[in-house]
């Protein structure tokens, strides 16, 4: 785990609240707007930023993130430019962890060694690569860990107790619990089921457990944050961006402020989470 | 099974991780991993279970119509004036192609695993029809994902699937072809992982699919080998098959891989030519990458984004290829060549008129390569080609191109 990631979890824990992890697609709707969005996320209270790397065939994503990826690719986004986004953000903010999230093929084509070197140089702290399960750890997970970059793994309701140790074995940074089977952007399940699942995972690992898939509002964030170490919000942010664009998919004056307002609300939600738990 | 790899054998793959050399593997979301491991276990048990084998053989004989005939194409051979041409007539199978061999096998597995719902992706619609057919036969609901472009150009098969009781879901993402249908099927699977069996139609995807589909299709080559030995008393000099994902090709190739004297050629869709992007020749013009659960050759750009590709044949319109073909290509055991749309179209007409067999556009690609090679070979030489599907589904597409409309 990078020192930055460790520090952020420690600082937030000291505040007695869960972390807010925000996802958006790098390059959506264009490079410059996307950099402004990334800065706005932090300004609005995001603790960790998941920076999406667009891929032509996002097999595990719902329509909202598929479309965001298509907009980004159409605007010329690439893995190299996504690393550049991280680098520019890092020049101004040395404390907010950045986690790149995407699919393996762009990294494989970029070259794993070269990618890891450039990711470290850009100030990237962790990776979530959707189509690399533990069985494929030699590809990227182990090389990343050797370089000090966290490899954050998704655990799902299908990850039973038999499989959990394997999933957690090389996971670092935090565990991302996907609160339902399905693609990104589906409906939110029952918070009490989530609390049970978080407890089950925490019995196997000292790592923080962040929960995502379906978190859209400050109330959701508060409900999930009552049991989890962190709340991940993705599709809601991507939808907020999409709703602010022109018909041709161009950014408007409402794009960045819209994201900032949404995330401010979510940040207030996680700050109320432990109060909710105490009620 | 689980025998140590034979030295000098091309038939021992994949390894336990599902790899053929560097190709194959299990590149899927964690949600699917437990299911894929269950499938692997179930498949390992089933293939050693005499009852499973007996049921497969019984359905093969009485439902599919196996063995399919081996046919000597006398007039085509005379016309080309070279090697003797034999067709393995998979187009005579129930549902009109080799696809049913795999579907019967997988639905028996789905039943064993207690799954209650079948999903499938389809390009030309042959696999969709075969899936809808076995779903009807075994009383399971079936959803078929099909690219919107393919829904249009393979309308007869869409109608057949609906008649069989399947739900056909058109996919509009991308170019609306096989790749996009596969993405959507994977999304469905991730969402409905408990109840649903994903019946993959080609020898690609995450392990164990490439191995499993190959094993269900290997009956083609096993029969053909025996049949050609009976007809000619020796093995063929050349075996040819069309390659999209590659299931009919690996099915006929696999039995011959260790026969040194047998040259093997896979035919890719050259589309409108390899210079631009309008082709699907992933081995001839692509590079290794990771998509749909496996590492294989892909059509992609320098950033690892997958290209759409093009072929006149919906069944070959896929920017990847099964991992075993990628490996056979790299080690040089099989030669892969492209055939252009117009060459396939000519071959389609040649066979129709000379032999009274309307081939699907997919094997028409293999046929075009046979037509190129046969005249250069001796009259004592033998070519075996997999005639993997019938062309009824393509008559409207071809009629339109040839201006034979009403």
Domains and their CATH numbers in chain A = 2-278 (3.20.20.70)
pLDDT value of position B123: 86
Task: Say whether B169 is catalytic.
Answer: no
pLDDT value of position B404: 79
pLDDT value of position A96: 98
pLDDT value of position B276: 86
pLDDT value of position A127: 98
CB A232 within 8 A of CB A263: no
pLDDT value of position B6: 45
pLDDT value of position A159: 87
Q: Assess whether pLDDT exceeds 80 at residue B336.
A: yes
Mind listing the pLDDT tens digit for each residue in B58-88?
Answer: 999 999 999 999 999 999 999 999 999 999 9
Please state the ipTM of this predicted complex.
0.93
Q: Looking at the complex, report in whole angstroms how far the Cα of residue A56 sits from the nearest Cα belonging to chain B.
A: 5
Q: Looking at the complex, report in whole angstroms how far the Cα of residue A80 sits from the nearest Cα belonging to chain B.
A: 8
Mind listing the pLDDT tens digit for each residue in B108-167?
Answer: 999 999 999 999 999 889 999 999 999 999 999 999 999 998 898 888 899 999 999 999
Dihedral of the alpha carbons of B99, B104, B105, B109, in degrees to the nearest 10:
130
Q: Which residue has the higher pLDDT, B59 or B313?
A: B59
Question: Which of B117, B195, B303 to probe by mutation at the A interface, max A CB count within 10 Å?
Answer: B303
Count CB-CB contacts under 10 A for residue B404: 10
Averaged pLDDT, B245-273: 97
Least confident of A30-34, A179-183, B191-195, B290-294: A179-183
Task: Say whether B355 is catalytic.
Answer: no
Averaged pLDDT, A47-70: 94
Order of strands, sheet of B142-147, starting from the edge strand that comes earlier in the sequence: B167-171, B142-147, B117-122, B196-198
- Residue B4's pLDDT band (boundaries 50, 70, 90)? very low
Residue in chain A nearest B180 by alpha carbon: A57
Question: Which of B187, B195, B208, B289 to probe by mutation at the A interface, max A CB count within 10 Å?
Answer: B187
pLDDT value of position A185: 62
Mind listing the pLDDT tens digit for each residue in A257-271?
Answer: 999 999 999 999 999
- Residue B1's pLDDT band (boundaries 50, 70, 90)? very low
pLDDT value of position B3: 46
Q: Looking at the complex, report in whole angstroms how far the Cα of residue A194 sits from the nearest Cα belonging to chain B.
A: 16
Nearest to A181 among B173, B193, B289 (CB): B193
Q: Which of A28, A30, A47, A61 is catalytic?
A: A61
Most confident of A62-71, A212-221, B327-336: B327-336
Nearest to A183 among B191, B302, B303 (CB): B191
At residue B261's C-alpha, the angle toward residues B258 and B264, to 5°, is: 70
Q: What is the pTM of this model?
A: 0.94
pLDDT value of position A102: 98
pLDDT value of position B357: 98
Nearest to B289 among A79, A105, A178 (CB): A105
Q: Which of B311, B320, B339 is nearest to B397 (CA)?
A: B311
Q: Looking at the complex, report in whole angstroms how far the Cα of residue B30 sits from the nearest Cα belonging to chain A.
A: 6
Chain-chain contact of B306 with A132 (C-beta, under 8 angstroms): no
């Amino acid at each position: 785990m990078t020192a930055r990631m460790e520090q952020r979890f420690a600082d937030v824990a000291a505040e007695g609240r869960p972390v807010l992890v925000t996802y958006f697609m790098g390059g959506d709707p264009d490079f410059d707007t996307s950099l402004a969005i990334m800065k706005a996320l932090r300004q609005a209270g995001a603790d960790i930023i998941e920076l999406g790397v667009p891929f032509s065939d996002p097999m595990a994503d719902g329509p909202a993130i598929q479309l965001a990826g298509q907009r980004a690719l159409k605007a010329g986004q690439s893995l190299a430019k996504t690393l550049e986004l991280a680098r520019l953000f890092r020049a101004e903010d040395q404390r907010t962890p950045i986690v790149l999230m995407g699919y393996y093929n762009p990294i494989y084509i970029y070259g794993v060694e070269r990618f890891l070197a450039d990711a470290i140089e850009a100030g990237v702290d962790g990776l979530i690569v959707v189509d690399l399960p533990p069985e494929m750890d030699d590809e990227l997970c182990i090389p990343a860990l050797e370089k000090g970059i966290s490899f954050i793994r998704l655990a799902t309701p299908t990850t039973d107790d038999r499989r959990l140790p394997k999933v957690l074995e090389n996971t670092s940074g935090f565990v991302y619990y996907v609160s339902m089977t399905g693609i990104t952007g589906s409906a939110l399940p029952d918070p009490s089921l989530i609390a049970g699942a978080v407890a089950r995972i925490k019995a196997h690992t000292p790592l923080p457990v962040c929960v995502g898939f379906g978190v859209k509002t400050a109330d959701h964030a508060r409900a999930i944050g009552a049991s989890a170490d962190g709340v991940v919000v993705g599709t809601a942010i991507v939808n907020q961006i999409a709703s602010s664009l022109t018909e041709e998919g161009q950014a408007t004056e409402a794009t960045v402020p819209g994201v900032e307002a949404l995330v401010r609300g979510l940040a207030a939600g996680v700050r109320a989470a432990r109060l909710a738990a105490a009620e | 099974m689980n025998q140590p790899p034979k030295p000098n054998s091309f038939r021992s793959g994949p390894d336990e991780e599902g790899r053929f050399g560097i190709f194959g593997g299990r590149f899927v979301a964690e949600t699917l991993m437990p299911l894929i491991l269950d499938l692997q276990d179930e498949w390992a048990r089933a293939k050693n279970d005499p009852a499973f084998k007996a049921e497969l053989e019984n359905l093969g004989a009485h439902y599919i119509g196996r063995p399919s005939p081996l046919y000597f194409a006398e007039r085509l051979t005379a016309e080309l004036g070279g090697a003797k041409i034999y067709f393995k007539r998979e187009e005579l199978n129930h549902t009109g192609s080799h696809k049913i061999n795999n579907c019967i096998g997988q639905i028996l597995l789905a039943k064993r695993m207690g799954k209650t719902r079948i999903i499938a992706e389809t390009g030309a619609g042959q696999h969709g029809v075969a899936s809808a057919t076995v779903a009807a036969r075994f009383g399971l609901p079936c959803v078929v994902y099909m690219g919107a472009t393919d829904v249009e150009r393979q309308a007869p098969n869409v109608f057949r699937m609906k008649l069989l009781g399947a739900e056909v879901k058109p996919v509009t993402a991308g170019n609306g072809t096989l790749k996009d249908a596969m993405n959507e099927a994977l999304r469905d699977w991730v969402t409905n992982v408990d109840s649903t069996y994903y019946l993959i139609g080609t020898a690609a995807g995450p392990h164990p699919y490439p191995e499993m589909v190959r094993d269900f299709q290997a009956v083609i080559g096993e029969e053909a080998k025996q049949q050609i030995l009976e007809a000619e008393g020796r093995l063929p000099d050349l075996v040819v098959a069309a390659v999209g994902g590659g299931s009919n090709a690996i099915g006929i190739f696999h039995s011959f891989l260790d026969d040194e004297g047998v040259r093997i050629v896979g035919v890719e869709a050259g589309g409108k030519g390899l210079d631009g992007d309008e082709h699907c020749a992933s081995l001839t013009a692509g590079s290794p990458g990771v998509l749909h659960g496996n590492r294989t050759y892909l059509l992609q750009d320098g950033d690892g984004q997958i290209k759409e590709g093009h072929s006149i044949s919906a069944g070959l319109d896929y920017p990847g290829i099964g991992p075993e073909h990628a490996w056979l290509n790299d080690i040089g055991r099989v030669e892969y060549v492209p055939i252009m749309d117009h060459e396939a179209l000519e071959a389609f007409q040649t066979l129709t008129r000379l032999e009274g067999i309307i081939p699907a556009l997919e094997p028409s690609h293999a046929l075009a390569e046979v037509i190129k090679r046969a005249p250069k070979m001796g009259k004592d030489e033998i070519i075996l080609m997999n005639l993997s599907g019938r062309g009824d589904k393509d008559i409207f597409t071809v009629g339109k191109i040839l201006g034979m409309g009403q």
